[in-house]
Amino acid sequence: MIQAIGLTSMPRRNGPPAVDDLTFEVRPGQVTGLLGAPGAGKSTTLRLMLELEAGRGVTLFNGTPLHGVRHPSREVGILLGDVPGHPGRTARNHLRMLTAALGVPAERADEVLDVVGLTGLADQRLSTYSLGMDRRLGLGAALLAEPRTLFLDEPSFGLTPREAAWVHALLRAYAADGGAVLVTGRDAKAMARTSDRVVTIDGGRLVADQSAEEFTRTRLRPHVAVHSPHAQRLAGVLTDGGAEIATATGSRLVIYGTTSAHIGEIAYRNGILLHRLADEVADLGPVAPLSRADGRGPAAASPPDPAATPPADPAAAPPGEPAEPVRIPAPSRGAVAPATPAQPLRYELRRLGGIRTPWWIAALSLLASVAGALVLSRTGETSALSMMSGWVRQLPLPPAAMGAGLLGALAYGQEFRYPALAPAQVPVPRRLRLLVAKMLVSGAAALLIAVVAAVLDTVVLRTILGPGAVPLPTDRPTQAAGWAALAVGCAWAGLLAAGLFRTTALGVTAVLAVPLVVAPAVGLAVRSRAGSHLIEAAGALLSVLGGWPGGVGSTAAGVTGRAVQPVGCAFVLSLTVLLCAHLATVLRGRGR
């Protein structure tokens, strides 16, 4: 049982709230239709119920607000708009990625694809899907965690009659198994056919809460539609018999107060040819909204169904005392979206490898690295590290490091552009577990690209120019550690900046800003008086590290020496600032 009690959205500028004191129930085993014209407040009602929009009132799922439910995704599945999936991802990969986010077995994706009839199209990319296929995939995503309730915002809007009938049949089957369904719509006749109960709203206020039978009787008026080349003659005969002719234009008649069988008999007896004869219902339009409990608002056009009267607000104050407002939490909770994937590492691996973009970035980075190494070999470059990384000095960073930075920026940038973690299309929440998983995966990808680039450059140069073309670094552990730190630092800088600014472009900009802006600024600071003291302290630290036994001391001293260089300091400073800012947003979200 789902109870929406006193839902009221925040007031709009120079206007009333989109939803105003709305109360109704969604019962298990039934399809409840929320009917209203465009702008009536249907979508806002769903967002208030799902705690995606701030406001007043409360929605209880079996007596508990959604933010108090331990596993919200198993309580309610939602479809608000189109599927927010990456167009380059296949349907199977998209659902398997979501299974990791929801904490359900990966095999559940194939089961859901079979339920929604997409098994034969599971390996097609989302960019090739039609609207009907996209809507089926959205229903599949809503069913992944086997929720007890479905919230769907106009799932059949824009579909062909055949596709809409399939959607309605699926919802009927779901309700027949004991599930509760809340579906919005704007077509009164379709709502009467497909719902067990119809809640009508207008201007954000409750108009009526009725069973489908009562709704059809009070809102829809049956009539007979007739097309005939002798329509005017038929109209005269029917009028003489007492029928009500509502429309008589050309060859078309709309007749009330009779049946199609009766009209067919009259036409047959009078020798009148009929081209079409069908029973239909007409939408009489919405009635006036029900009056509010506080007396503000128009009077009701008809009394509500006593059996459908929603429960009283448990937070209501005794008579004569002011009521204590119940506030819906702000949307930062993201109650219906997985605040953090249940299996963040598996989710991130599927997100990274499920599309072609990361593979193309890695391949282009390696090709650019090889090209840079060949260019350096022609210019007489003697630095082993520069040749192994393909770092042409005209570039701000080595190609492999720039590729790692772009992969890092995409790790969060794609979440905001194609919010798979937020099927309700709200901002993707920043969570510490998700950040750690992304840092681990992006760091591993950066290391892999760096190692492959170094090996590939060395092999190509030695194959083309001879075995002695690329001398081995004199201090291999230090050089390797510095090269790995640069690649991982670029990846993490792009990741943190994209997560902080919610866009891939600013993530990549932050990576390029480190060598182009931050490093020169650090260089100026190092050359100042305070910087000279810092250099002296760093020298003392290097001498201490160099005295450690074995090769550990020399390696640690070499790595530290690179870290105190302008570029190294710039990356350390940038990563520190970005990480602190990202953690601050996480803590601020928890505080809210």
Instruction: Report the C-alpha gap between 281 and 215 in whole angstroms.
Output: 12
Answer yes or no: are the C-beta atoms of 509 and 527 closer than 8 Å.
no
- Mean pLDDT (whole number) for 172-197: 92
Instruction: Report the C-alpha gap between 474 and 245 in whole angstroms.
Output: 100
- Mean pLDDT (whole number) for 488-497: 95
* pLDDT of amino acid 561: 45
* pLDDT of amino acid 556: 44
* pLDDT of amino acid 34: 96
| Stronger pLDDT, 337 or 198, i.e. the higher one | 198
Joined tokens for residue 203: 């201007």
Residue 56, SS3? strand
The percent helix, strand, coil of the chain (3-state, each to 5) is 50, 15, 35
Percent of the chain with pLDDT over 70: 79
* pLDDT of amino acid 317: 40
Query: Mean pLDDT for the chain?
Result: 81
| Stronger pLDDT, 406 or 478, i.e. the higher one | 406
Highest mean pLDDT among 141-150, 219-228, 376-385, 420-429: 141-150
Could you count the other beta carbons within 10 Å of the beta carbon of residue 127?
Answer: 10
Structure confidence at residue 29 as a pLDDT band (50, 70, 90): very high
Answer yes or no: are the C-beta atoms of 375 and 392 closer than 8 Å.
yes
Structure confidence at residue 308 as a pLDDT band (50, 70, 90): very low
Q: Output the furthest CA–CA distance in the chain (Å, rounded).
A: 116
- Mean pLDDT (whole number) for 505-517: 92
Q: Is the pLDDT of residue 197 over 90?
A: yes
Percent of the chain with pLDDT over 90: 45
Joined tokens for residue 471: 């001398």
Q: Which one of 3.40.50.300, 3.40.50.620, 3.40.630.30, 3.40.50.2300 gives the CATH number of domain 28-53+71-218+287-308? A: 3.40.50.300
- Mean pLDDT (whole number) for 115-132: 92
Residue tagged 């082993």 (tokens): 384
Residue 197 Ramachandran class (φ > 0 left, ψ -120 to 50 alpha, else beta): beta
Instruction: Report the C-alpha gap between 157 and 139 in whole angstroms.
Output: 14
H helix and E strand count, the chain? 21, 15
Q: Is the pTM of this model over 0.85?
A: no
DSSP letter for 90, please.
Answer: B
Answer yes or no: are the C-beta atoms of 191 and 40 closer than 8 Å.
no
- The domain ranges of the chain are 28-53+71-218+287-308, 229-274, 344-591
Beta bridge partners of 249: 252
Answer yes or no: are the C-beta atoms of 583 and 433 closer than 8 Å.
no
Residues with Cβ within 8 Å of 259's Cβ and at least 6 positions away in sequence, in order, are: 224, 279
Answer yes or no: are the C-beta atoms of 407 and 353 closer than 8 Å.
no
Amino acid at 303: P
* pLDDT of amino acid 552: 42
Q: Render 502-517 in DSSP notation, one character per residue.
A: T-HHHHHHHHHHIIII
* pLDDT of amino acid 534: 52
- Mean pLDDT (whole number) for 524-540: 57
Q: What are phi and psi of 273, to 5 degrees?
A: -80, 135
Nearest to 347 by CA among 259, 298, 415, 272: 415
Residue 569, SS3? helix
* pLDDT of amino acid 222: 79
- Mean pLDDT (whole number) for 261-272: 91
Q: Is the pLDDT of residue 336 over 60?
A: no
Taking only the tens place, the pLDDT of each residue in 553-566 is 444 444 444 444 66
| Stronger pLDDT, 97 or 475, i.e. the higher one | 97
Answer yes or no: are the C-beta atoms of 254 and 312 closer than 8 Å.
no
Print the SS3 string covering 459-483.
HHHHHHHCCCCCCCCCCHHHHHHHH
Q: Render 155-175 in DSSP notation, one character per residue.
A: TTTT--HHHHHHHHHHHHHHH
Taking only the tens place, the pLDDT of each residue in 226-255 is 999 998 899 888 887 777 787 777 888 888
| Stronger pLDDT, 256 or 299, i.e. the higher one | 256
Taking only the tens place, the pLDDT of each residue in 135-173 is 999 999 999 999 999 999 999 998 988 999 999 999 999
Structure confidence at residue 287 as a pLDDT band (50, 70, 90): low
Q: Render 12-75 in DSSP notation, one character per residue.
A: PTTS--SS-SEEEEE-TTSEEEEE--TTSSHHHHHHHHTT-S-EEEEEEETTEEGGG-S-HHHH
